[in-house]
Structure 1
Amino acid sequence: MRKNTLLLVILVMVSFTAIAQSVDRSSFKAGVMAGMPIGDASDYSTFALGLDVAHHWGVSELFDAGIATGFIHAFGESGSLGDGAITYKFEDIQFIPVAAAIRMYPTYEFKLGADFGYALALNDNMDGGFYIRPSIGYNITGNTELNVSYISVSNDWNFSMVAVGLLFLF
């Protein structure tokens, strides 16, 4: 089931990329991010790494819309209690978000945006949930962006993190 879902996400991304070749202004972005879990997630996880992939189409001079996906891997926390007699290790948490994306450009250097969708959980004992990711980006160069974002996956409990990412325009 998970392999089929991942294959579907990749197929959709490739299809949108192929369609976008005929659109006047479109952009394909890919990059990496690192984050610190906060809230409930900080009890079980210490650090997260991820990949971001997005495709945006120009709707107007100041507004883009598109799709976004990626991979989030939060490393499970481990430690010991008392004098070390009891040790614990929480499982790593993994998600694949599938989302719609919007971006607004108040200036050339800065952008504001958000991704909304669903995050598929890759862990056996965990369900996916509603995915939201507001972000602020800064163009370092014409094809490199530094961004800061808040990521939230909500279902029976909330996985939240603050992330810093680097995206490259292709």
Structure 2
Amino acid sequence: MKKITLIAAVAIASVGFAVQAEQQMNDLEIAHTAYTAGGLDIRYAHLALAVSENAEIRAFAETMIRDHSAVNDAAGALISELNVTPQDNDLSRALVAGAAAKRAELMALSGAEFDCAYATNELGYHQVVNKTVAESFIPAVTVAPLKALLEDALVTFQAHEKHAEHMVAALQCDG
């Protein structure tokens, strides 16, 4: 039952993210949303390091912190270079609200139950974010350096998605 609930929550969040991303967003809103999504995944990873004792989960969480921090640092440098201010928007606010609820749900778990929930969330999160970046953000961005940053980050985040998929399978979370 918890597995079905988790899948339903990921699906609902995914649909909400995809629908909101389809609305016309400008470059500054896209930049803010991408930065926000990366920051939220860093927070999930810190939670995993605090809760999980599983070596694979911990290694994945460390990778999330390293890679998402690197992309967010590059985004921050680009923002400074371009002398612009990213714009908060409905999608970034929805991501923050959804992440708060997901963190509360994850914090109530421990052991293998936490590990599966974290891995499943990471898989769903990366699937949705990667699809949104590839199909909505990159085509819509008009500033070449931001487009290049998103394209480079997408390659890394697609690798994260594959890694999360392997974790879910190895942990036998679907059973």
Q: Verify same fold: TM over 0.5.
A: no
**Structure with the higher strand share, 1 or 2:** 1
**Which entry has the higher C-alpha Rg, 1 or 2?**
1
**Structure with the higher helix share, 1 or 2:** 2
Which structure has more relative contact order (CA 8 Å, sep 6+)? It is 2
